[in-house]
Amino acid sequence: MRTRPLKVALLGCGVVGSEVARIMTAHAEDLAARIGAPVELAGVAVRRPGKVREGIDPALITTDPTALVKRGDIDVVVEVIGGIEPARGLITEAFAHGASVVSANKALLAKDGAALHAAAARYGRDLYYEAAVAGAIPLIRPLRESLAGDKVNRVLGIVNGTTNFILDKMDTTGAGYQEALDEATALGYAEADPTADVEGFDAAAKAAILAGIAFHTRVRLDDVYREGMTEVTSADFASARAMGCTIKLLAICERAADGGSVTARVHPAMLPLSHPLASVREAYNAVFVESEAAGRLMFYGPGAGGSPTASAVLGDLVAVCRNKLGEATGPGESAYTNLPVSAMGEVVTRYHISLDVADKPGVLAQVATVFAEHGVSIDTVRQQSRPDFQDTASDGGEASLVVVTHRAPDAALSGTVEALRGLDTVRGVASIMRVEGE
């Protein structure tokens, strides 16, 4: 074994960074044996130098991350500060000054992954980021390496623990969105400002990364269609249950049937209870991969938290250190297919539509005509009169009409809903939800 240690600079020492430092110390001998050389924490860049950091030599602490990455003797920079800048500039400087990089920064990778990969390749360095998607769950490496000989057609994932916790609570306790969010906040799953999670931005960044790797093309954050889950109601869960489904916020990356394009989207969807992702409870994450030769694979585990995320960072650190010792680099960006990313309107999906309609002759026929005019085939229709709206008024009261469609382009489905809203006999569109996983 080489005795001269590989030097690691840690950028950020919050929940994840402090766990990375702790595990590096606690497992130093094992890590050295697995890598073939000791790894040494050579510097830790932080914003608040005065904070007590147990187990970290205060002499290693600095508030100048730029000077740290430019030192010239750093082998690996571990970036766990998040956000776009200064992370992007620091990673680029790290490459230029001899270091490979391990990052957990999904926002940056989704936005600028191609440029960062190009910089890594230019300087002959590694850029690894297993921790950027779904915490501890191995996904990037299986997609990049284990499935490198296969053809992935679809990736369907629950990649945000906060929203899965909220939806699970709504499903199992009957709580409304706000009540479930309050519980998620009290338990520390949701942040004080939960926008990134509940509006699907976090999941969209992960979808962009997964789609790019799965389909060997470039998918940027702006390419990902996104809808949050704040509008999901208890009534939606009741409708889902009536169909033998639950509701999940899904990240869905698909290759088009003709193979000529890909799509990536994040939105809430009804999912049959028989689908393996339906049983993913609480704040857990899981990703279901469908590939030509392997068939269906599922990756499951904790998608966030200091220790699980540190596990993924440490795995990358070991891989990058091994590459350094072997004077090699691991796989870089693979975007050779150049497949374009299609707009949401071209995605083929199914809708569950719940309408409040006038309960009088001809209404069902009128509604069915709108579907036919948009080329959307109806799978099932369920009508129920609404006792609360049965009066002696001349229109004869109201009924709830639940329509589930067959698969159709999303543009046709959303066009149908718009046209339905324009009918006098449609008093309101109570809910619209896509149905996935069949």
> Which residue in 19, 75, 126, 197 binds ligand HSE (CB under 6 A)?
197
Note whether 105 binds ligand HSE by CB under 6 A: no
Token pair for 400: 């709830």
Count Cα neighbours of 95 within 13 Å in the Cβ-side half-sphere.
22
> Which residue in 100, 105, 153, 162 binds ligand HSE (CB under 6 A)?
162
Residue 403 backbone phi and psi in degrees, to 5? -115, 130
Q: Cis omega before residue 86 (within 30°)?
A: yes
> Which residue in 65, 200, 302, 303 binds ligand HSE (CB under 6 A)?
303
Residue 330 backbone phi and psi in degrees, to 5? -85, -170
CB of 152 to ligand HSE, least distance (A): 22
Q: What one-character-per-residue DSSP string does 43-93 give?
A: EEE-S-TTS--TTS-GGGEES-HHHHHTSS--SEEEE-S-SSTTHHHHHHH
CB of 290 to ligand HSE, least distance (A): 23
CB of 206 to ligand HSE, least distance (A): 7
* Segment contacting ligand HSE by CB under 6 A, of 43-51, 157-165, 310-318, 341-349: 157-165
Q: Where are the alpha helices (DSSP H) in 55-200?
A: 65-69, 87-96, 106-123, 140-141, 161-173, 177-186, 195-198
Q: Determine whether 169 is an active site residue.
A: no
Residue 401 amino acid letter: L
Q: What's CA 209's distance to the chain center, in Å?
A: 9
- By C-beta, is 314 or 408 nearer to ligand HSE? 314
DSSP helix/strand/coil, 436: coil
Note whether 212 binds ligand HSE by CB under 6 A: no
Q: Which 391-410 positions form the footprint of ligand HSE (CB under 6 A)?
A: none
Note whether 202 binds ligand HSE by CB under 6 A: yes
* Segment contacting ligand HSE by CB under 6 A, of 159-167, 245-253, 258-266, 425-433: 159-167
CB of 318 to ligand HSE, least distance (A): 22
DSSP helix/strand/coil, 266: strand
Tokens 């706000």 correspond to: 178
Neighbours of 362 (CB within 10 A): 10
* Segment contacting ligand HSE by CB under 6 A, of 1-9, 70-78, 158-166, 220-228: 158-166
> Which residue in 92, 100, 153, 160 binds ligand HSE (CB under 6 A)?
160
* Segment contacting ligand HSE by CB under 6 A, of 155-163, 330-338, 356-364, 400-408: 155-163
Tokens 């990673």 correspond to: 91
> Which residue in 45, 155, 304, 317 binds ligand HSE (CB under 6 A)?
304
* Segment contacting ligand HSE by CB under 6 A, of 12-20, 70-78, 154-162, 333-341: 154-162
CB of 284 to ligand HSE, least distance (A): 10
DSSP helix/strand/coil, 352: strand
Neighbours of 74 (CB within 10 A): 20
* Segment contacting ligand HSE by CB under 6 A, of 25-33, 156-164, 209-217, 235-243: 156-164
- Find the catalytic residue in 106, 169, 206, 324: 206
Query: What is the rounded distance in angstroms from the CA atom of residue 22 to the CA atom of residue 257?
Result: 47
Q: What's CA 321's distance to the chain center, in Å?
A: 28
Query: What is the rounded distance in angstroms from the CA atom of residue 20 to the CA atom of residue 26?
Result: 10
CB of 157 to ligand HSE, least distance (A): 11
> Which residue in 43, 65, 157, 161 binds ligand HSE (CB under 6 A)?
161
Query: What is the rounded distance in angstroms from the CA atom of residue 356 to the CA atom of residue 366?
Result: 14
By CB under 6 A, how many residues form the interface with ligand HSE?
A: 7
CB of 383 to ligand HSE, least distance (A): 39
CB of 161 to ligand HSE, least distance (A): 4
The H or E element containing residue 378 is: strand 378-385
Residues interacting with ligand HSE, by CB under 6 A? 160-162, 197, 202, 303-304
Active site residues: 206
